[in-house]
Amino acid sequence: MIANLLLGLRLAVGGGRMSGQALLRLTMTAVGIGLVVAVLLPAASVSSVVDAREDRAAATAEITQPNPGVDPLYVVKWSAIRGNQFVDIHSVAAEGPHAPVPPGLSAVPKPGELIVSPELARLLAEPDGAGLRARLPAAPSGTITKPGLVDAGEITAWYGTTVADAKSNPDVETVYGFGGGEPPRIAVATTTLIAVLPVVIALLLPLLIFVTTASRMGAAQRDQRLAALRLLGVDARQIRWVAAGESLLGATIGLVLGVALFLAVRPTLSSLDLFGYRVFGEDFVPPWPLAVLVVVLVPALAVGAALFGLRRTIVEPLGVVRQGKPVRRRMWWRWVITGVGVLLVGTAYATEPGQSSDSVLIALTGGSAFLLVGVTVLLPWIVEGIASRLHGGPPAWQLAVRRLQLDSGTPSRVVSGLVVVVAGSILLQVVLNSLLAADAAEAKTDPSWAGAAHVSVLADKATAAEAQQRVSGVAGLTQVGTIRRSSAVAGDQWTSVEIGSCAALALRAQLPSCVDGSVFSVGDAPMPTGSVRFTESSSDTGGPQWTVPSGVVRVPASSAARNLDGTLLVTDSAIAGLPVPVELTTVFVKGPGTTAELGDRVATAVASLTWHVEVDTDERASAPTGVLGTIRAVLLTASLFVLAVAALSLLMLAVEQITERRRALAALAASGVPLGVLARSSFAQTALPVVIGVVLAVLTGTGLTLPILRAADIPLKLDGGLIASMAGAAVAAVLVVTACTIPLLRQITKVESLRAE
């Protein structure tokens, strides 16, 4: 057996002199297997990535139980916000020299010292990072290392403060150590693997088809060599081992190439931002059982494809005989795969829209994967059935149809890679497009008042007065108004209340008219009447009583700021000097420039107040839309790449078929058949399975979106341009393949090709 394999390896390189076709076959096989390995190794590393992330999350968890001999570390958590960027800041102060040091830091930051994450340092260094720098209490003096970060894209910072300042915060935490968490490894890893299953199938299956197509290139030349070996006395069983050895060389080179490509690409994986998370590239380390499985199975795929191609081939000393009569396809397993997919996807209709459980979501994911595979295995049967019913037409059409009637399985299997890319791309892109449309619709209906910047201050009169003084000193402001937020309760009805002057309330809503003593109700929510009691929180049982006046004016929610529906806007005079408990004091401002620029100027004025204040704007946070847009762009790029691989598979198939039929094509040309007829025949032979496959892919891709979007209770939003572009790309691939094969067809159809060798 070993000797036969070694003989096959020698024959793979032309017995010492590499021919052009042998080199092309070896290169295609190695590249295809290399791409498959480079995709499979990161996929096999998903569990390791999740485990490493959960380990870091557990290591950064805080221990709040007192520990003898350990000084307490006081931690105050707050955020600096600019548009869609949220910086999580931990103000820390050590009670003594034996206080615990946060992970990723070499020491507890001293008062005024700011240690930032690498991602935050990158954002601050960008040209538009001035606005974010204005919201930080100090300039960065260090960087958090990997043990202190759960995600590579984490935007966080540690800021040193005094013990007295930290203790003044009612939400201060006393920490005695870190590393008190337990990661839920199995559940998270399993869920993640299930979530990426359809994407892996849609992107990986065409690569596998590319490998099998490349492994079977040069079949005619291989058959001649095998027949010569039979003439030398090699038996039929040994011939198969020789054929396996020929494929093993390309598989081994491809395996090495794939591992090298994986190691080269792994560091760049940290820059990918999907679903709001970024992982560390060095965490992509596949567990050794999965790594061994990839190393063994992927080369076995190439070898198996070569042996599978010999299943209906009889190699004899005087030549090679192939079975001409097509075998009847076994359909039961094809329908089982498709039926399982339909049943799993149909579980979405067993629950109400938007009420799907985790089990239904898992069934949808698995069903999508089964149906994508079902499309590929059903396509040869569909193409064969349609081709058998086609008769008549121009000569080019008849030649193409007759060829498909004799052998429709091989082109259909190659086209199935292109089909699964189109179907998977349509599925993913339509779902993301619907999510984007729903998010845009929500943004359109979500009311927003003229974007003013605001500074929120905790219920601290001294800090509120200082913040208001600093904000009022900002140059160029046209309006400044202070709003105090409280709550009013009447029986079981709770109502949010905002109190301020008419000028301040005008920054919150478009009021029809306002005088001292006016009261406004935003939206159509039920309004409290009679006597109510002011309270600072739902647990507060005391508070002054207040009688809601009868002349409350309704203000449409569309004419007020966000999240004000059902809120009472009360002027200072309307409460008649009652000691109203204040939950939050907010200073709203307006001025020239954009809302972001206005917020930057205000943030600069109050930056030294750290966690005591929070600067924000009324701009809608569109981070989900940005994340979805990134995902959509990444998946579209990956789809186009795999589509190009599928087109390359078509090209290899067309070249192989023309090479195998060179004598028949030369005979047709010698009989007077024009080259154009043969070229159109080659085009139709490839185009017919592609057109059938594209129609099937569009139906499958759009059909799968319906139960998925129903489970999420999101309206369907079809992107006709995207569907047309994906279908057009598939058809364009056929045109490119035909154009690339015309020079070979012209050479093959010369009279010299009829000479005996």
The tens digit of pLDDT for each residue in 243-295 reads 666 677 777 888 899 899 999 988 887 776 655 567 888 888 888 888 888 88
Residue that wins the pLDDT comparison between 79 and 536: 79
Helix, strand and coil content of the chain, in percent to the nearest 5, comes to: 60, 15, 30
Cβ atoms of 87 and 198 closer than 8 Å:
no
Q: What is the pLDDT of residues 343-372, one digit of tens each?
A: 888 887 777 776 666 677 677 777 887 887
Residues in the chain, overall count: 757
Residue 37 CA to residue 31 CA, distance in Å, equals 10
- C-beta atoms surrounding 587 within 10 Å: 26
Mean pLDDT (whole number) for 195-219: 64
In this prediction, residue 194 carries a pLDDT of 46
Residue 83 CA to residue 542 CA, distance in Å, equals 38
In this prediction, residue 717 carries a pLDDT of 73
Tell me the average pLDDT of the chain.
77
Mean pLDDT (whole number) for 740-757: 74
Q: What is the pLDDT of residues 375-418, one digit of tens each?
A: 878 888 888 888 888 888 888 888 888 888 877 666 776 777 77
Q: What is the pLDDT of residues 113-171, one digit of tens each?
A: 999 999 899 988 888 788 888 888 888 999 999 999 988 888 899 999 999 888 888 88
In this prediction, residue 113 carries a pLDDT of 93
Residue 621 CA to residue 625 CA, distance in Å, equals 9
In this prediction, residue 75 carries a pLDDT of 93
Percent of the chain scoring above 70 in pLDDT: 74
Bridge partner residues of 314 (DSSP): 321
Chain position carrying tokens 């081939």: 313
In this prediction, residue 620 carries a pLDDT of 46
In this prediction, residue 718 carries a pLDDT of 72
In this prediction, residue 655 carries a pLDDT of 78
- C-beta atoms surrounding 397 within 10 Å: 17
Most confident of 307-316, 630-639, 698-707: 698-707
- Residue 74's H or E segment, with its range, is strand 73-82
Cβ atoms of 749 and 678 closer than 8 Å:
yes
Residue 517 CA to residue 570 CA, distance in Å, equals 8
Comparing CA positions, the residue from 415, 397, 412, 421 lying closest to residue 734 is 415
Burial 13-42 (b: 16+ CB within 10 A, else e): ebeeeeeebbebbbebbbbbbbbbbbbbbb
Question: Is a pLDDT exceeding 80 seen at residue 224?
Answer: no
Question: Is a pLDDT exceeding 90 seen at residue 92?
Answer: yes
Bridge partner residues of 78 (DSSP): 89
HSE-CB at 596 with a 13 A cutoff on CA atoms is 11
Q: If DSSP states are collapsed to H, E and C, what string results for 413-433? A: HHHHHHHHHHHHHHHHHHHHH
Q: What is the pLDDT of residues 496-542, one digit of tens each?
A: 888 988 888 888 888 888 888 899 998 888 888 888 888 866 555 56
In this prediction, residue 320 carries a pLDDT of 54
Q: How confident is the model at residue 436 (pLDDT cuts 50, 70, 90)?
A: low
User: Could you tell me the pTM of the whole model?
Assistant: 0.67
In this prediction, residue 45 carries a pLDDT of 86
Report DSSP state, residue 754. G
Helices (H) and strands (E) in the chain, counts: 22, 20
Q: Which of 75-84, 214-223, 530-539, 623-632 is the least confident region?
A: 623-632
In this prediction, residue 218 carries a pLDDT of 55
Residue 460 CA to residue 457 CA, distance in Å, equals 7
In this prediction, residue 91 carries a pLDDT of 92
- Residue 373's H or E segment, with its range, is helix 358-388
Cβ atoms of 305 and 251 closer than 8 Å:
no
Pairing label, strands 545-547, 531-535 = antiparallel
Q: Which residues contact 682 (CB under 8 A, 6 or more apart)?
A: 400, 654, 657, 658, 738, 741, 745
Rg for the chain, CA atoms, rounded? 35
Task: Tell me the two tokens of residue 355.
Answer: 């009420």
Cβ atoms of 503 and 483 closer than 8 Å:
no
In this prediction, residue 156 carries a pLDDT of 92
Residue 481 CA to residue 451 CA, distance in Å, equals 14
Q: Is 305 helix (H, G, I), strand (E, B) or coil?
A: helix
Chain position carrying tokens 């295809």: 32
